[in-house]
Amino acid sequence: MRIRRFPQNIFILIFLMLSSPLWAQSEGLADQLKTAYDNFSYEALDSLLSDALVQPQQYNNTTQVAIYRYGAIRRVQEGDSEVARSYFRQMLDLDPTIELDPVTTSPKVLLVFQQAKLDYTAGIQERLNAIEKAMAFEKENRPWRSLIFPGWEQYRRGYKLKGVTWAVLGTAAIAGTVQSVLTTRSRFDTYIDETDRSLLEERYNSYNDAYKSQFYWGYALASVWLASHIDAIFFSQVKVENLSLQSNGSTPVVKLSISF
């Protein structure tokens, strides 16, 4: 048994030995960047950033934030504000709550960071506006649906209970109308085929009642259809959902408001 387990254990050991340095490097890179920056070792900092920015996605979020942060600071120091803003925006994508220390950070870097934050916030608002337009298009007012079947338009607009209620009434009216038509035909055939004169009047009255019920059910069906359509036009206004971006301290917050 020991001989069989030995190769498997060796394989696991080799895997751990190969993966541990990469993990340790990922975990320690943020500290290395901070140390180089705090000690003004810009040459070492640039070397670390040059390697890290080739494929920053291989690192965890905390390390990526550090990469973009110090990369942006170095670009500001070198006068490339456009690339610096790009790095800051990528940093904010990873952590929208992040702030730079106004005491230890130069005003020039803070200015570029604030510009990047404004761009980031504006980008979020644009995406929210696009989502809101898509939602409005999806819930566009189409009252003709209520003419196809009662309650359909109400249900599509978000009035679930009302839509189901109208649908049940419409289904019941259809079922009643169909049943009354079938019953009328059946009683008419019975009346025509009756040979006992003493039962003719009874058969006729039964047929006549069924015949009249067709009109009652037809009126009910038309009333449900018309009432559902009127309700969809005047009393079931499209629900408007507004997405807005607000600030909670230093953190952008998306707010959803629904009006009727």
Q: At what angle do helices 107-138 and 61-77 cross, to 10 degrees?
A: 120
User: Side chain identity at 229, as an amino acid letter?
Assistant: H
Contact present, 34 and 104 (Cβ < 8 Å): no
Least confident interval from 1-15, 79-93, 181-195: 1-15
- Residue 4's Cβ-count burial label (10 Å; 0-12, 13-18, 19+) is exposed
Residues 125/231, Cβ–Cβ less than 8 Å: no
Q: Are 245 and 125 in contact (CB under 8 A)?
A: yes
Separation between Cα atoms, residue 130 and residue 225, nearest integer Å = 36
pLDDT value of position 239: 59
Residue-wise pLDDT for 212-244, tens only, equals 999 999 999 999 999 998 988 888 876 555 545
CB contact at 8 A, 74 and 44: no
Q: How far apart are CA 14 and CA 21, in angstroms?
A: 12
Give the global pTM.
0.44
- 96 versus 143: which is more confidently predicted? 96
Give the per-residue pLDDT at 212. Answer: 94
* For residues 41-53, average pLDDT: 91
User: What's the gap between Cα 125 and its chain centre?
Assistant: 15
pLDDT bucket at 251, cuts 50 / 70 / 90:
very low
pLDDT of the residue at 135: 57
Mean pLDDT of the chain: 80
Strand partners, 142: none
pLDDT surpassing 50 at residue 169 = yes
Q: Are 249 and 95 in contact (CB under 8 A)?
A: no
The torsion angle over the Cα atoms of residues 71, 73, 79 and 81, rounded to 10 degrees, is 80
- Of these ranges, 132-136, 145-149, 175-179, the one predicted with the greatest mean pLDDT is 175-179
Tens digit of pLDDT for each residue in 94-140?
A: 888 888 888 888 899 989 988 888 888 877 777 766 666 655 544 55
CA 77, distance to chain mean position in Å, is 41
> What pLDDT shows up at residue 129?
67
Reported as type and span, the H/E element at residue 212 is helix 197-230
* Closest listed residue to residue 170, CA positions, set 151, 183, 144: 151
Percentage of the chain beyond pLDDT 70 is 75
6 pLDDT more than 90? no
Partners of 211 in the β-ladder: none
Lowest-pLDDT choice from 42-46, 118-122, 177-181, 240-244: 240-244
What percentage of the chain reaches a pLDDT higher than 90?
39
Q: For 195, what's the count of Cα atoms within 13 Å in the CB-facing half-sphere?
A: 0
Q: Which is more confidently placed, 65 or 249?
A: 65
Determine the Cα–Cα distance for residues 167 and 123; give it in Å rounded to an integer: 43
The pLDDT of residue 260: 40
53-110 pLDDT, tens per residue?
999 999 999 999 999 999 999 999 999 989 999 999 899 888 888 888 888 888 999 8
Q: Which two tokens stand for residue 234?
A: 């005047």
Both tokens of 132, joined, read: 């809101």
Among 179, 172, 133, 135, which Cα is nearest to 151's?
A: 172
